[in-house]
Amino acid sequence: MTDGDAGGEGSGGRGSGEPLWAGRFTAAPAPEAHALGTSVHHDVRLAPHDVEASIAHVHGLEDAGLLTSDDAAALREALAEVGRRIADGEFVFDPADEDVHSAIERAVTDRLGDVGARLHAGRSRNDLVVTDLRLWLLAAGRRIDGVTTMLVRTLVARAREHAESVMPGTTHARAAQTVTLGHHLLAHAWALLRDLERLDQWAIRTSVSPLGAGALATSTLGLDPAASAARLGFVRAFDNSIDAVSDRDFVQEFLADAAISATHLSRLAADLARWTDPALGWAELDEAYTTGSSIMPQKRNPDTAELARAKAPRVAAAFVALTSVLHGLSLGYHRDLQEDKEPAFDAADTLELVLPALVGAVETVRFDAGAMRAAASEEGLYATDLAEVLVRGGVPFREAHRRTGELLKQLAASSRSMRDLTHEEWSSFGVPDGAALLDPDASVRARGGGGGPSPSSVVDQADAIGAWLAAR
C-alpha cells in the first residue's frame, strides 16, 4: 500500500516501501523490529508542523542557491498538498513508513521524483523532529493557557458572587477558622495563575528553533538557521547544534508544569467533590456534571470532579517516564528520544480534557451559602479569634492559647457552649463583647489585612487577578 496519489517513481534508486536510508542496507528491517520502531500511529499529530518546518527548510535551500525557484515552489506546493491530505484523512501511509517525517518526504518524492529527493539536504530527522515537537507543544501550550485562563476567570466570577459568603475554613478537613467562599475559590485561582506564569516562562525557553542543527553538527551548505527560525515564528535559533538535537528539557519542563497544573486541578476537583457531598451539603453540582448509578436510582455521583482528581497522576507519570528516558543518556540523538512524544501528547490531551470540564462544573455549581453560614456557627472556628482578643489585651499568645483551651474544656465538661456564657463570664475572661466575637461576618472582617479572607480582601484579590490577566 502506498500513498493513493503516488505519481512518479521514487528517485535516488529507492524502490517503493524501502526506508529512506536503504542505500547502505541489503535487508529490510525484521517485521517485529519495524513494529517496535514505527511511530507514525502517534507522531502523525506532528504532520502540520512537519510540513511547516519542511516549507521553511525549502525557503532556506532556495536562499542558499541549492534549489531553483521553480523547484522550491514545486516542493512547497507538494508539501502543502501532502499536509492537506493528511489533515483530511485521505493520505495513505505506507506500512514501511518509519515515522511521519519519512512518510511526508516519501510522498513528496513519489510525486516530484528528483526534485523531491532534494528536500532533505542539510537537515536530518534529528533536527526536524525536535522542531516539529517544539511547534506542537507551543501550540498546545497556547490552547492550555486559553482554557486555564477561562477557569481562572470563572473562579474569579464565582468568588465575586461569594465575597461575603462565610464558611468554615478547614485544616485536616476539620473546622479551623472562618473564611469566605470567595477567598477559598481565589486560592485555586492564584495557583492557576502561577501555572499560567510557568507556561509563559516555559514558552520563552521553548521558542528556539533547532532547524539547521542537522544530525548533530549543522551542514556545509550555508543554510541560515536564524532565517528558518524567523519563518517558523520562533524567537530565535539554537546556540549549539548538539544541544539542539540532544536535549528534551523543553518537553520535560512542559511535563513538569503540566503535572503541577494537573495537581492544582485535582485539588480544585477534590474541593468540589467534598463540598457537594450531600452529607456536607455546601454545594450541588449541576446534573450535567454528574452521573447516575446503574443500580442505585437515588445516586448523582460527582464523576467529573473525581476524574479530574484522578487524571493528575498520569501527567506526573509522563514527567517521570521522560525524565527516566533522558537520565544518563549521553548527548547526540538516540532512538530512545522517540519516547518523548507519547508522554507529551498524553499530558497535553489530559489537561485539555480536564480543564474545560472543570470550567463547566465551576460555572454551574450551585453553592448553598446558607448551609455554609450555618456550618460556620461551629464554635471552634472562633477559638483562635478569642485567643487573639486576649493577645490584643496584652496576654502572651501561649498563655492566651492555654486559657482559651481551658475555657473550651470546661464548657465541654459542663455541656455548655460559648453562646451560653454570660456577659459577666466573658468580661472576667477578658473579652468585652463575647457575642460579637461569635459573629461570622465580624470574624472574617476582622481578618481584613492583605491576603486575608474578608470580603474587601476578596474584592481586592479578584481585581488584582483581573489586572494581571489584562496585562498579559
Nearer to ligand ARG, 275 or 345 (CB): 345
For 328, the 3-state DSSP assignment is coil
Selection from 258, 272, 264, 259 nearest residue 306 by Cα = 272
CB of 329 to ligand ARG, least distance (A): 13
Residue 444 has a CB neighbour count (10 Å cut-off) of 30
Active site residue 172: yes
Rounded to 10 deg, the angle between the 249-275 and 181-206 helix axes is 170
CB of 19 to ligand ARG, least distance (A): 10
Place of cell 509522563: 318
Residue 66 phi/psi, 5° resolution? Answer: -100, -5
Nearer to ligand ARG, 177 or 246 (CB): 246
Supply angle C-alpha 453, 457, 460, rounded to 5: 145
CB of 246 to ligand ARG, least distance (A): 11
CB of 225 to ligand ARG, least distance (A): 18
Active site residue 454: no
CB of 335 to ligand ARG, least distance (A): 6
Find out whether 91 and 82 touch, Cβ atoms under 8 Å.
yes
Nearer to ligand ARG, 133 or 372 (CB): 133
Nearer to ligand ARG, 337 or 358 (CB): 337
* Identity of residue 252: Q
Please give the Cα distance from 1 to 444 (Å, whole number): 71
- Dihedral sign for Cα atoms in the order 136, 139, 142, 146: negative
The binding site for ligand ARG (CB under 6 A) comprises 39, 43, 99, 125-126, 129, 333, 335, 337-338
Rounded to 10 deg, the angle between the 125-161 and 341-364 helix axes is 10
Residue 416 has a CB neighbour count (10 Å cut-off) of 12
CB of 337 to ligand ARG, least distance (A): 5
Selection from 355, 357, 362 nearest residue 145 by Cα = 355
CB of 345 to ligand ARG, least distance (A): 12
Find out whether 372 and 165 touch, Cβ atoms under 8 Å.
yes
Find out whether 56 and 211 touch, Cβ atoms under 8 Å.
yes
CB of 338 to ligand ARG, least distance (A): 4
Name the region of 388 (left: φ>0; alpha: ψ -120 to 50; beta: rest): alpha
Nearer to ligand ARG, 311 or 341 (CB): 341
Supply angle C-alpha 171, 177, 181, rounded to 5: 90
Question: In 207-311, where does DSSP find H-type helix?
Answer: 225-231, 241-246, 249-275, 303-310
Cell triple for 15: 524502490
Find out whether 119 and 55 touch, Cβ atoms under 8 Å.
no
Nearer to ligand ARG, 91 or 275 (CB): 91
Find out whether 225 and 209 touch, Cβ atoms under 8 Å.
yes
Determine the length of the chain: 472
Selection from 360, 375, 192, 378 nearest residue 275 by Cα = 375
Nearer to ligand ARG, 102 or 180 (CB): 102
Cell triple for 49: 508542523
Nearer to ligand ARG, 95 or 448 (CB): 95
Nearer to ligand ARG, 337 or 344 (CB): 337
Please give the Cα distance from 372 to 100 (Å, whole number): 55
Place of cell 460555572: 363
Catalytic member of 293, 324, 427, 456: 293
Catalytic member of 172, 330, 414, 415: 172
CB of 28 to ligand ARG, least distance (A): 16
Give the residue numbers marked as catalytic. Answer: 172, 293
